[in-house]
Amino acid sequence: MRQMGRGMASVNLSGYKSILLVPCPYKEFICCKHYLNEQRAIVMKKTLLSILACPCCQGQIELKARETTENGEIISGTLQCLNCGAEFPIVEGVPCMLTGEQQIKPSEGFTEQWKYRFSGRFETNSLYGLNPTHRIEDVIAKFADPIQADEWILDAGCGSAEMTFAAAKSYPQAQIVGLELSEAVRLAAKEASSIPNLHFVQGDVTNPPFKQSTFSKVYSMGVLHHTSNTKAAFDAVSALVSEYGNLVIWLYPDPIECPANIPYYGIRDIVFMGMGHKLSPELRLWFVQFYTGIFLPFIIIAQSFGKEFYHFCQQYNFLVFDKQSLSEIYEATAFLDNLTLPEKFNALAFWIFDDVTPEFQFRHKKQEVINWFKANRFEEAHADTIGTYWGKRWH
């Protein structure tokens, strides 16, 4: 990741208009037709100011200049750090808490992936093959404490934000914040104005623009391992969790501990030789769709065999893996049963594009990550066999 710098520069908004004329893949979460409505005010809610901090020095942030709507919410303006003087623009109602260098040349990251998704070129009725509401329910179930009124919850690396929207709609009593580095954050924010407890910030998980110990609950699903240093990103995100707060993350598991992931890793490491991020997005998409067509029949056969093998093991108590691991692997692939063949193709293509797109993709052993939790004062830390970790901070 680039080093943080001072000062404000113009934000690169190129490419936004080219993806506005798109169908609505998630009508219950993000209604894309509203992206065309120029009369719709996209605002930053004033309550968000209370938790923002300078990503450069953790200094206090104040609103320097603004344009407000009739109810006092903020459309555009400038935020300034009272300590180091760094300035951050509010663009289309989203505070851009990136540094000067990042603002001039924002990291491409997953931007193109989310653009393709909004344009309907990947799965449209699921997210990684699953319903976003079901995915957020699985995350919430890992929290040790129920969600309370007025508490702040962070989705660190929210991507296209379906889970963020699902959380805000399912828990209107809490304040939900989506943090995202890519330019896709503004697309998601265009619908957030109609949801009073939903906020979006453009920022970097390695230098999160929030006051420490702000959030009672934080989740980050499949993000931290795509930074240049997973542990450093974990430390930065975990510092945002309050006393007695909860943290849930998902990381790519070590292939020895989760052999089911070896074919998936092989696509990135062997087929694309770890260089997928160097291909142009369109060429990368073409190769991904080509390989998806080749691998899909094998995936379907393997999943069908795996299902029968799972039931056989359950019936006769024949275990190659321990029972919990076998059950988790089965549950992780069971979503394929509910998808049509075209949906399976689009979901798998999305998975593979997600696999080969980032520059970094680290895989971690379970005990290694558990030790990170303990080092950051999470005395209760748990893990499953497929990369999910959760814990509660006690002091």
Q: Which of 7, 21, 18, 6 lies closest to 281, judged by CA? A: 18
Weakest-pLDDT range from 65-74, 285-294, 323-332: 323-332
Cα of 42 vs its chain's centroid, Å: 21
Residue 29: pLDDT over 70: no
pLDDT band at 105 (very low <50, low <70, confident <90, very high): low
Confidence at residue 107, expressed as pLDDT on a 0 to 100 scale = 56
Mean pLDDT of 295-316: 68
Residue type, 209: P
Residue 138: pLDDT over 80: yes
Which domains can be identified in the chain, with CATH numbers? 17-250 (3.40.50.150), 259-356 (no CATH)
On whether the CB atoms of residues 135 and 127 are closer than 8 A, the answer is yes
Confidence at residue 14, expressed as pLDDT on a 0 to 100 scale = 34
Confidence at residue 306, expressed as pLDDT on a 0 to 100 scale = 60
- Provide the 10 A C-beta neighbour count for residue 18: 10
Distance CA 321, CA 326 (A): 6
Instruction: List pLDDT tens digits, range 171-187.
Output: 999 999 999 998 888 88
Instruction: List pLDDT tens digits, range 261-293.
Output: 888 899 999 999 999 999 999 999 999 999 999
Question: Which of the two residues, 72 and 343, has the higher pLDDT score?
Answer: 343
Weakest-pLDDT range from 176-180, 265-269, 299-303, 381-385: 299-303
* Cα first-last separation, the chain: 31
Geometric angle at alpha carbon 210, from 208 and 214, rounded to 5°: 125
Within 13 A of 63's CA, how many CA atoms are on the CB side?
Answer: 19
Instruction: List pLDDT tens digits, range 126-136.
Output: 777 778 888 89
Instruction: List pLDDT tens digits, range 202-260.
Output: 999 999 999 999 999 999 999 999 999 999 999 999 999 999 999 999 999 999 988 87
Weakest-pLDDT range from 64-78, 106-120, 307-321: 307-321
Distance CA 30, CA 35 (A): 10
On whether the CB atoms of residues 93 and 194 are closer than 8 A, the answer is no
Confidence at residue 246, expressed as pLDDT on a 0 to 100 scale = 97
Residue 108: pLDDT over 70: no
Residue type, 84: C
- pTM of whole model > 0.85? no
Confidence at residue 289, expressed as pLDDT on a 0 to 100 scale = 94
